[in-house]
């Protein structure tokens, strides 16, 4: 645990010492704030943050891979992976530490958007249930993006390749699980494709529905890709 947190803390701190960390935060807050102002603070609109959550889901598709792309790729490129792999810590410590750091950074990035909740509170009386569920959904979907991003980052020393692979992976997932495409195949494959859809699950969260099956899906998704990342790192020892 100590070693995991040591790796995580170093990584988390390094986000704030790199320009990409601040750029990612600025980009996300600017675009999500713009959307919130345009869509939610309009007379006649319900006092909800649904617009922010639905646009954030797409913004995170770009932002999360930009956070995760450097996690292991940068260590591989600069060679710092070697001293890390010769320290008396297991590859699990390295990978889980890196993942926790990215997740903590993502949550840090979402925190300033709580201002929007305050703004809505000033103008109207919002229902806090859907807002809480919406934030939970964002963290879940972000956690999925980061896990896949971490995996691709364990395979390449090139950050751009890690970024694009992650983006491509999720675009493909969105495409094959979209209603139009999934409808082309027969049951039971259709249900399987719909089951893979992150959008459908996140839509429930945005509506304020907390479904434990969705939570279980996201958790399993994250665990799978963290394990694959460990395999990716470990394979360096055998190549």
What are the angstrom distances between the C-alpha of 25 and each of 50, 95, 114, 229? 21, 23, 14, 25
Q: How many residues bind another protein (CB under 8 A)?
A: 24
The span from the CA of 126 to the CA of 130, in Å, is: 9
Applying CB under 8 A, which of residues 89, 107, 176, 224 lies at the interface with another protein?
Answer: 89
What is the per-residue binding string for another protein in 25-64, x denoting contact by CB under 8 A?
Answer: ----------------------------------------
Write down the residue that tokens 């601040």 correspond to.
22
The span from the CA of 23 to the CA of 31, in Å, is: 12
Q: How far is the CB of 133 from another protein (least distance, A)?
A: 37
Q: How far is the CB of 233 from another protein (least distance, A)?
A: 11
Q: How far is the CB of 232 from another protein (least distance, A)?
A: 15
Write down the residue that tokens 């956070």 correspond to.
67
Stretch that binds another protein, among 74-82, 161-169, 202-210, 211-219 (CB under 8 A): 74-82
Residue 191 touching another protein (CB under 8 A)? no
Residue 132 touching another protein (CB under 8 A)? no
Residue 87 touching another protein (CB under 8 A)? yes
What are the angstrom distances between the C-alpha of 217 and each of 169, 192, 222? 17, 13, 9
Residue 158 touching another protein (CB under 8 A)? no
Residue 6 touching another protein (CB under 8 A)? yes
Residue 88 touching another protein (CB under 8 A)? yes
Largest CA distance in the chain: 62
Residue 1 touching another protein (CB under 8 A)? no
The span from the CA of 236 to the CA of 230, in Å, is: 10
Counting other chains too, the contacts that 32-36 makes at CB distance below 8 Å and 24 or more residues apart are 32/56, 32/59, 32/113, 33/113, 33/116, 36/113, 36/116, 36/119
What are the angstrom distances between the C-alpha of 222 and each of 124, 144, 213, 216? 37, 5, 14, 10
Stretch that binds another protein, among 6-14, 55-63, 126-134, 176-184 (CB under 8 A): 6-14
Please give the residue ranges that form the binding site for another protein (CB under 8 A): 2-3, 6-7, 10, 14, 17-18, 78-80, 82-90, 236-239
């Amino acid at each position: 645990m100590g070693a995991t947190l040591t790796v995580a803390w170093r990584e988390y701190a390094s986000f704030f010492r790199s320009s990409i960390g601040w750029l990612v935060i600025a980009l996300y807050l600017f675009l999500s704030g713009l959307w919130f102002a345009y869509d939610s603070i309009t007379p006649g609109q319900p006092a909800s943050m649904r617009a922010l959550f639905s646009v954030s889901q797409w913004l995170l598709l770009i932002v999360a891979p930009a956070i995760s792309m450097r996690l292991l790729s940068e260590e591989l490129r600069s060679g710092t992976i070697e001293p890390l792999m010769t320290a008396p810590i297991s590859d699990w410590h390295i990978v889980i530490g890196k993942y926790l750091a990215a997740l903590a950074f993502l949550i840090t990035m979402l925190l300033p958007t709580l201002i929007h909740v305050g703004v809505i509170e000033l103008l109207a009386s919002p229902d806090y249930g859907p807002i809480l569920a919406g934030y939970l959904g964002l963290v879940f979907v972000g956690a999925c993006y980061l896990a896949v991003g971490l995996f691709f980052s364990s395979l390449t020393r090139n950050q751009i390749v890690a970024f694009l692979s992650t983006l491509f992976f999720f675009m493909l997932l969105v495409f094959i699980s979209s209603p139009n495409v999934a409808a082309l195949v027969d049951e039971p494959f259709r249900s399987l494709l719909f089951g893979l859809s992150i959008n459908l699950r996140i839509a429930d969260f945005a509506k304020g529905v907390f479904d434990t099956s969705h939570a279980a899906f996201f958790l399993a998704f994250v665990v799978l890709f963290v394990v694959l990342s460990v395999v990716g790192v470990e394979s360096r020892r055998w190549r």
